[in-house]
């Protein structure tokens, strides 16, 4: 499956990613069927996935927890189903996911589960019915409805999967395989970034040591050296944080996989 051009992983900040995947879905339709199968398959493959019913921590308020979980995920999977658009929760999630795609370069992967992609893009049939109701209910917030419509058009244009003509098992296998490949790509990018950062730090440290040995007396130069040292300390701390977060994420993923 080819990724959407806007699904680049460049610019991703790995220190902010608590989850590999966030799954957006209409609970009444797919929670006990396709979505549960997909979630468990991801976990079995040591992919840390967020699904509201299971991943929501005690004491968390769902209206704040979901946007945060989206922001902390490398990939968002949207399971479009017949009545996805009837849920304002789902539509708000979708808007936030696309915001993260634009601002955080998050990878967005749609799955068209027993629904024609053109019905989503053009808001026909059940999607048309849902928006007739939304426009009546939110007649004083018509801009919100327009955002939902635009989000559906944009998201349905991403490269993804159509469930028609496929068994759920084969569809789940395809999605998991593609997610693993994309996470590997992100991981390789983080590794290269760390290697580059370490090389830059070594070079900068040598330069600073050389400057200190020459006992530079110019006050402006001495001030600059102190500022450079502070930058170096922060860069070194960032490097350690990235390594720590990756080890932590892997340990949490392994632990969740063992529970399932």
CA contacts within 13 A on the Cβ side of 162: 10
Q: Residue holding tokens 């327009």?
A: 146
Q: Please count the other Cβ atoms lying within 10 Å of the Cβ belonging to residue 102.
A: 11
Out of 29, 53, 60, 93, which one is annotated catalytic?
93
DSSP string, 234-259: HHHHHHHHHHHHHHHHHHHHHHHHHH
Q: Strand 161-162 relative to strand 73-80: parallel, antiparallel, unpaired?
A: unpaired
Q: Please count the other Cβ atoms lying within 10 Å of the Cβ belonging to residue 183.
A: 20
Nearest of 133, 245, 260 to residue 187 by alpha carbon: 245
Helix (H, G, I), strand (E, B) or coil at 20: strand
Give yes or no: 135 in active site: no
Strand order in the sheet with 161-162: 49-50, 19-25, 73-80, 107-112, 161-162
Catalytic residues: 93
């Amino acid at each position: 499956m080819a990724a959407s051009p806007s699904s680049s992983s460049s610019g991703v900040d790995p220190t902010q990613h608590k989850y590999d995947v966030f799954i957006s879905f209409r609970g009444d339709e797919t929670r006990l069927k396709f979505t549960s199968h997909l979630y468990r398959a991801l976990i079995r493959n040591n992919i840390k996935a967020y699904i509201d019913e299971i991943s929501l921590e005690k004491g968390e308020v769902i209206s704040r927890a979901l946007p945060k979980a989206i922001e902390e995920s490398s990939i968002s999977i949207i399971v479009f189903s017949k009545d996805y658009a009837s849920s304002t929760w789902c539509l708000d999630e979708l808007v936030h996911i696309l915001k993260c795609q634009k601002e955080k370069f998050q990878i967005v992967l749609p799955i068209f589960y027993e629904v024609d992609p053109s019905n989503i893009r053009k808001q026909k049939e059940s999607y048309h019915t849902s928006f007739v109701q939304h426009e009546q209910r939110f007649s004083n917030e018509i801009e919100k409805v327009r955002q939902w419509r635009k989000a559906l058009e944009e998201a349905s244009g991403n490269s993804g999967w159509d469930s028609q003509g496929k068994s759920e098992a084969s569809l789940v296998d395809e999605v998991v395989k593609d997610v693993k490949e994309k996470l590997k790509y992100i991981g390789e990018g983080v590794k290269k970034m760390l290697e580059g950062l370490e090389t830059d730090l070594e070079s900068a440290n040598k330069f600073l040591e050389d400057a200190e040995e020459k006992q530079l007396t110019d006050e402006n130069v001495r001030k600059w050296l102190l500022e450079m040292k502070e930058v170096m300390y922060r860069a070194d701390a960032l490097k350690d944080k990235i390594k720590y977060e990756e080890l932590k994420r892997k340990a949490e993923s392994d632990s969740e996989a063992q529970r399932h």
